[in-house]
Amino acid sequence: MDVVKNLLINIDSDVIDQESLDKLYALNNEHVLKIVNEFISRCKPSKVTVITDSQEDIDYVRQRAIEIGEEAKLSIDGHTIHYDAFSTMGYHDQARDKANTRILVPKGEYASPWINTIDRDEGLKEILEIMEGCMRGNECIVRFFCLGPINSKFSILALQLTDSLYVCHSEDILYRKAYEEFKKLDGSNKFFYFIHSSGELIGDPPVSKNLDKRRIYIDLKENRVLSVNNQYAGNSLGLKKLALRLAINQANNEDWLAEHYFILGVHPKGKNRVSYFCGAYPSACGKTSTAMLPGQTVLGDDIAYLRPWDDGYAHVVNIERGLFGIIKDVNPEDDPYIWDAITTPREIIFSNVLIREETPYWIGDGREVPEKGINFSGEWQIGKKDEEGKKIPHAHPNARYTLRIEELKNADENLHNPDGVPLHGIFYGGRDSDTMPPILESLNWEHGVFLGASIESETTSATIGAVGVRVQQPMANLDFIVVPLRKYLENHQRFGNSLQHCPKVFATNYFLKNQDCKYLNGMLDKLCWVIWAEGRSHGDYEAIKTPVGYIPKYEDLKELFKEYLGKDYTKEEYMEQFEIRVTKLLKKLERIEMMYRKEENVPDFFWIVVNEERENLLNLKEKYQKEDIPPDEFL
């Protein structure tokens, strides 16, 4: 114990009080003390406060976030607002900063066209210099969390140091507290750690000033991430996308998966069972709306860990316990569960929305837009323009709410189950106006990995640049994959093949359009695809085998549409939605090939799938002499 204590003598007693010191010593972990010592000396906060699992400590964080102005109370009890910088500052902090998020790679190790890397020595030197004195005048919070349920084989402990009370409060909503779990580490260094600082603050509310020096550096060697001069959760919260990158590294060196998946409990009518499905979708491709389907239960909406389990299934856990959800378009009709939760008293942090008379407003909330208020540009009124003369919307398109899953009426009962839940299937979805059918089941596991690896999303008018350009988004995870893609694909292949009950894989596409650019499906049709997939995973439906995968039979969909949506699904609709668009599929295959040719040593199974699919499609073309082949031809 004395050895451990000696480690802390660098920290002035004006900076850390005896109570906080005692809380640190009680962990009996020299690694934690070393980290605290090192980064307190470097970042030089004026105060260090250690937070345990006690309610008193947790309440302290919530209060301090309001006292220092990082959050402000709203009219409904428990609701607060936080802003991540202001667009009038000339730069913004309302989304993930891909350019300044880099993996520290030791000399001679891999380079990749997809991964933003920097030489480890050089990167460390740069960020440690930026961090010198970065917490000056601020209070640094030391907190302990668990990624995944407590007492679970899946879970990884995480230590967070941050001078942002908003970051700490958000993590309290989103993750499980684990100070007591750190005691059980028995002095080991088996945990991730995250050092975050908002850096110098400016204005009221206080926001990061030096965004030009925003850096997020991922150090796989030490299982840590250093993040400075930012507040947006995707950049600042250690446990969210920063930990996902460390977990992907670990999973790919072991025998499990760390994925950008939601977890959904599917409850088919009259069958008295629940089957769990994961899903990966790029932004704005229907991830949340699938995870929140009416009549089903949500276990997670962002990040999952999967492991092979004794029962022969893969089991999956949500490493989070809350949602950091996009609030745009949340309205009472389309998102009743979320709407109910975020408009009634409970603990919620809103970020980057418009506030008028202590009430939050956002794009697509179905309410009249107030004439003025405070938003991500500061004081705002209707018609306000930015420097380029473009109208500033009343709320940021990436404005968010932070909320515990248990606050939702559709929360799944297994959220905290340390054994996770058995996985029946995986959905991969993209945004595609003219190629893939609404739902397609993979021919086998390898083909399923290929379906995930070939997700594409089309750019929309909501983003700058050309509309309709297809961007490849393997497993909707490319932003976070820190190992070579070939290794990631090999790990997926091995994982599925090690299972006795391999999950079925489905590609979904909610965005098919006809010649007149009208969507071929309604918003809720996805419920029928999901229920069909669930039935397939239990052998309830037959399917039609096509060269690109299995598609549903018309009769089954007709029944499902009637039962679940009260809709008459016509044969014409089916024929249009499920035709096999041979020429377009061949073009998609070409794009995928082009992408993967940039990567060295892509595993053989991937090219086998690609070559088989190409050959089958070419044969079809020759046989039918047509671009699009009706589904009935494959019966």
Is there binding between residue 234 and ligand SPV (CB under 6 A)?
Answer: yes
Q: Of 525, 607, 595, 526, give the one whose Cα is nearest residue 567.
A: 525
Residue number closest to ligand SPV, CB atom: 234
User: 617 is in the binding site of which of ligand SPV, Mn ion, none (Cβ under 5 to 8 A by kind)?
Assistant: none
Q: Where are the alpha helices (DSSP H) in 523-562?
A: 526-537, 554-560
215 binds ligand SPV (CB under 6 A): no
The whole-angstrom separation of Cα 195 and Cα 216 is 10
CA distances 506 to 166, 248, 384, 432, Å, are: 38, 22, 45, 15
Contact between 324 and ligand SPV per CB under 6 A: yes
Q: Exactly one of 79, 102, 196, 240 binds ligand SPV (CB under 6 A); which one?
A: 240
The least CB distance from residue 582 to Mn ion, in Å, is 34
Q: Is 491 exposed, middle or buried (0-12, 13-18, 19+ CB in 10 A)?
A: buried
DSSP string, 368-422: PPPSEEEETTEEEETT-B-TTSPBPPSS-TT-EEEEEGGGSTTB-TTTT-TT-EE
Of Mn ion, ligand SPV, none, which one sits near residue 309, judging by CB under 5 to 8 A according to partner kind? Answer: none
The yes or no reply on residue 233 touching ligand SPV (CB under 6 A) is yes
Which residue stretch of 296-304, 403-411, 434-442, 560-568 sits at the interface with Mn ion (rule: CB under 5 A)?
Answer: 296-304
Closest CA to 67 of 54, 41, 49: 49
- Which residues from 431-470 bind Mn ion, rule CB under 5 A? none
Determine contact, residues 157/146, Cβ cutoff 8 Å. yes
Stretch that binds ligand SPV, among 21-29, 51-59, 198-206, 232-240 (CB under 6 A): 232-240
Binder among 163, 302, 479, 490 for Mn ion (CB under 5 A): 302
The site string for ligand SPV over 482-511 (x = CB under 6 A, - otherwise) reads: ------------------------------
For the bound state, the minimum distance from the C-beta of residue 233 to ligand SPV, rounded and expressed in Å, comes to 5
Shortest distance, CB of residue 324 to ligand SPV, whole angstroms? 5
Site mask for Mn ion (CB under 5 A), range 308-327, x = bound? --------------------
Residue 93 binding target from ligand SPV, Mn ion, none, CB below 5 to 8 Å by type? none
> Between the CA of residue 220 and those of 193, 239, 488, what are the distances in Å?
11, 15, 16
Residue number, 324 or 561, with CB nearest to ligand SPV: 324
> Is residue 397 involved in binding ligand SPV (CB under 6 A)?
no
* Total residues at interface with Mn ion (CB under 5 A): 1
Stretch that binds ligand SPV, among 29-37, 222-230, 233-241, 270-278 (CB under 6 A): 233-241
For every residue of 456-515, DSSP letters joined together read EEE--TTSSS-TT-EEE-GGGTTTT--S-HHHHHHHHHHHHHT-SBPPEEEEEES--B-T
List of residues 6+ apart from 158 with CB closer than 8 A: 144, 145, 146, 147, 175, 178, 191, 192, 193, 194, 238, 239, 243
Q: What is the smallest separation between the CB atom of 95 and ligand SPV, expressed in angstroms?
A: 7
Could you give the CA distance from residue 289 to residue 285 in angstroms, rounded to a whole number?
Answer: 9
- Pick the closer one to ligand SPV by CB: 471 or 586: 471
Span of 90-98, 145-153, 297-305, 514-522 interacting with Mn ion by CB under 5 A: 297-305
Burial class (CB in 10 A: 0-12, 13-18, 19+), 107: exposed
Q: Which of 140, 146, 285, 502 is catalytic?
A: 285
**What does the alpha-carbon distance between residue 286 and residue 455 come to, in Å, rounded to a whole number?**
13
Q: Which long-range contacts (CB under 8 A, 24 or more apart) does 63-67 make?
A: 64/139, 64/165, 65/165, 65/166, 65/168, 65/169
Phi, psi of 106 (to 5 degrees): -60, 150
- Give the binding range for ligand SPV (CB under 6 A) out of 101-109, 234-242, 334-342, 532-540: 234-242
Min. distance of Cβ 213 from ligand SPV in angstroms? 20
240: partner contacted, choices ligand SPV, Mn ion, none (Cβ within 5-8 A by kind): ligand SPV
The whole-angstrom distance between residue 376's C-alpha and the CA centroid of its chain comes to 23
**Nearest approach, Cβ of residue 157 and Mn ion (Å):** 22
Residue 291 or residue 557: which is nearer to ligand SPV going by CB?
291
Task: Name the binder of 553 from ligand SPV, Mn ion, none, CB < 5-8 A by kind.
Answer: none
234 binds, among ligand SPV, Mn ion, none (CB under 5 to 8 A by kind): ligand SPV
Q: Is 502 a catalytic residue?
A: no
CA end-to-end distance (rounded Å), the chain: 73
Question: Is the separation of the CB atoms in 376 and 94 below 8 Å?
Answer: yes
Task: Indicate whether 431 belongs to the interface with ligand SPV (CB under 6 A).
Answer: no
Nearer to ligand SPV, 181 or 302 (CB): 302
What is the dihedral sign for C-alpha 544, 550, 554, 560?
A: positive
Note every long-range contact of 266-270, with CB atoms under 8 Å and residues 24 or more positions apart, other chains counting.
266/296, 266/424, 266/530, 266/531, 266/533, 266/534, 267/295, 267/296, 267/297, 268/531, 268/534, 268/535, 269/295, 269/563, 269/564
d(CA 628, CA 584): 9
Q: Do residues 305 and 154 touch, judged by C-beta distance below 8 A?
A: yes
- Going 292 to 295 to 299 to 305, the CA torsion angle's sign is negative
Compute the least distance from the CB of residue 280 to Mn ion, in Å.
9
Say if CB 148 and CB 304 are below 8 A apart. no
H/E stretch holding 262: strand 262-266
**Residue 96: which of Mn ion, ligand SPV, none does it interact with, CB under 5 to 8 A by kind?**
ligand SPV
Q: Considering the complex, what minimum distance in angstroms separates the CB of residue 455 from Mn ion?
A: 14
Q: Quick check: 321 binds ligand SPV (CB under 6 A)?
A: no
CB of 125 to ligand SPV, least distance (A): 27
Q: How far is the CB of 246 from ligand SPV (least distance, A)?
A: 15
CB of 282 to ligand SPV, least distance (A): 9
Q: Which does 176 bind (CB under 5 to 8 A by kind): ligand SPV, Mn ion, none?
A: none
Number of residues that bind ligand SPV (CB under 6 A): 8
Between 234 and 448, whose beta carbon lies closer to ligand SPV?
234
- Residues 289-318: x where in contact with ligand SPV by CB under 6 A, - otherwise, as a string: -------------x----------------
96 binds ligand SPV (CB under 6 A): yes
The residue ranges that bind ligand SPV (CB under 6 A) are: 96, 233-234, 240-241, 283, 302, 324
The residue ranges that bind Mn ion (CB under 5 A) are: 302
Catalytic sites, residue numbers: 285
